[in-house]
Amino acid sequence: DTGVSQNPRHKITKRGQNVTFRCDPISEHNRLYWYRQTLGQGPEFLTYFQNEAQLEKSRLLSDRFSAERPKGSFSTLEIQRTEQGDSAMYLCASSLVAGDYNEQFFGPGTRLTVL
């Protein structure tokens, strides 16, 4: 399968714990994005990387959130001291820089439940 992959697919944690998610983009894609989606809403942008550089962070990305893409390949998203409001689907997408149309392809997501 050459699509975007994410691990784990589901994560249940207790409030206050730290969690880390991983995303492996499509191999030739140089841009990688993280989004968060809650029930009944469209995905909301969190942050994106071009190669290993983190170029933009949303206001949604509080100090408890950190993302890395150390070698310009896979990325990790860590949430420290989780809160119940962090419960959501965390989606990763990747794209190839080419022209004006930034077509992004999504992974299956990591569903986080904070108890």
Nearer to other proteins, 37 or 80 (CB): 37
Positions in 38-67 near other proteins (CB under 8 A)? 40-45, 48, 50, 55-56, 58
Q: Is residue 104 near other proteins by the rule CB under 8 A? A: yes
Pairing of strands 88-95, 105-106: antiparallel
- Minimum separation from the CB atom of position 93 to other proteins (A): 8
Q: By CB under 8 A, is residue 74 in contact with other proteins?
A: no
Tokens describing residue 16: 């206050």
Give exposure, 91-108, as e/b (b: 16+ Cβ within 10 Å). Answer: bbbbbeeeeeeeebebbe
Binding site for other proteins (CB under 8 A): 31, 33, 35, 40-45, 48, 50, 55-56, 58, 91, 93, 100-109, 111
